Structure 1
Amino acid sequence: MKYEDILFEVRDRVAHIRINRPDVMNAFRAQTVDELIHAIGEAGWNREIGAIVLGGAGDHAFCTGGDQTGHTDGGYGGRGTIGLAIEQLQTTIRDVPKVVIARVQGYAIGGGNVLVTVCDLAVASERAIFGQVGPKVGSVDPGFGTALLARVVGEKRAREMWFTCRRYTAGQALSMGLINTVVGHEALDNEIDRLCAEIVEKSPTALAIAKQSFNADSESIRAIGALGFQSLALFYDTAESKEGVNAFLEKRRPAFRAPKGAR
């Protein structure tokens, strides 16, 4: 596959994959998701590669989720339940027998925050910002982005993230267990390289078994997510969801509830 939306590089037995859409804060469209699935799969099943680093191009954003400019007519226009093969991307990250590390140098919002959640490890710059945005734009991640997040950061904090759509600093993300390490912005790549060097010298089979053993405890979320995304596809066809997208694109506050007496 020829990549247009991502960058792919292998060095020192580590695959470095970055979303290359900095002009839209590395928000993903359907093509981006398909390219990520392909690249992570290629790297994940390559015996010569010992770890995968997932990041975003530029200094400002890791990933800010789905590109709302492509969210029209009840979906994102590509394949998958909602026009984005996001379920396949999340499960690919979990299924490949390699440690996948999120490199978070800036905003990890919405679907970007979910990618951090799904990755095995996460290292962040002190400038990183985390949070969910779905209920502000008439959307939600009804699988790993909610249920797995609750296991990672705790039920109350996960509910707070989704119900309020607040933003959290790297220090707060570290304290709640969403990420593993926070470093100075200029030290981020050195820290990533140091971590990868530790991982690639370990037994690849032992790491693969350990990863799938960790995953086994939360594997039921995959089925929950499949049901949830079917519901989400129906929700995207509603006026309520479309109002969220339109308000975002028009840079105004959404009016999800009709005025009194309008119903």
Structure 2
Amino acid sequence: MSGVNVTRRDNVVWVELDRPDRLNAYDIDMARAMIDAFESASDAYAVVLTGAGRGFCAGGALDQLDDPDPALLRELFTASLKVCDAIRSCPRPVIAAVNGPAAGGGNELVIACDFAIAAEKASFGQTGPRVGSSPVLGATNVLPVQIGEKRAKEMAMLCRRYSAQQALDLGLINEVVPGDRLTARVEEWIDEIKALSPRYLEITKLNSNLYWNTAQDSMRNGLGMLLQAIGSPDMVEGSGAFLAGRAPQFPPPPRPRDAR
């Protein structure tokens, strides 16, 4: 099992992340399944990305970061960028149906989607500097266009959590609905999409990727820095603290050698 359920309902592709035991944090197999689903949806009306259980997505799985395998992490980090690119290059509208927490890379999936509808209990935010990583695949480059530079830095650097209503006020998502209305409301959005020209929706979507395309150098540069930092003391401490449920104790900033 890939941990991703892909189904078609009324010619709409539903992609459900199905690892509720870890709030749907994705591994390499799940990333590949998502990429395949988005790349295979050109004949559908739309794609919906959601999560099983009480979470939307907690980003990439952190269970390897405290004792990292550089080759596996390189593959996971690279696959994460490919997932976001697959969402953006999918010719059909992609809707995030955010049923619960969207954290770290899960929040960046929301950033990548064309639309986002959230349940009232959903929450949003980045985790990078808190767990020994950095949100270079959307939060440091595309998010400022969506919610403004100061707010984006607040989210990316301070790792605060935001309620669904706060995310709506920021402009990160399109709508907040009661949890029991989430699927029905997404289907109402899909009904609107079905009434439109798929050909010209595709043109409109792909032509709206101006800022995403401009950010590609930033994303790949940031990804390269993350790959070089695999196994760093900050990564090991941040992820280890997260997995242990304790506050991290990061090394202080380095001092000049001649400092007294």
Q: TM-score range by the shorter chain?
A: over 0.9
RMSD: 1.9
Q: Which runs of 4+ in 1 moved over 4 A?
A: 258-261
Structure 1 residue 227: deviation in Å? 1.2
Matches within 5 A, 1:215-230: 215-230=209-224
Structure 2 Cα separation of the partners of residues 68 and 163 of structure 1 = 19
Structure 2 Cα separation of the partners of residues 68 and 76 of structure 1 = 15
Matches within 5 A, 1:1-263: 3-43=1-41, 45=42, 47=43, 49-58=44-53, 60-71=54-65, 72-73=67-68, 75=70, 77=72, 80=75, 83-258=77-252
Structure 2 Cα separation of the partners of residues 132 and 143 of structure 1 = 11
Structure 1 residue 249: deviation in Å? 1.6
Are the counterparts in 2 of residues 114 and 145 from structure 1 also a CA contact under 8 Å? yes
CA spacing shift, 1:259–1:134, aligned 2, 3 Å: closer
Are the counterparts in 2 of residues 138 and 243 from structure 1 also a CA contact under 8 Å? yes
Structure 1 residue 148: deviation in Å? 0.5
Normalized against structure 2, the TM-score is what?
0.93
Are the counterparts in 2 of residues 126 and 171 from structure 1 also a CA contact under 8 Å? yes
Are the counterparts in 1 of residues 74 and 227 from structure 2 also a CA contact under 8 Å? no
Structure 1 residue 166: deviation in Å? 0.8
Structure 1 Cα separation of the partners of residues 107 and 179 of structure 2 = 19
Structure 1 stretches lacking a partner, 5+ long: none
> Number of residue pairs matched?
255
Amino acid at match of 1:193: E
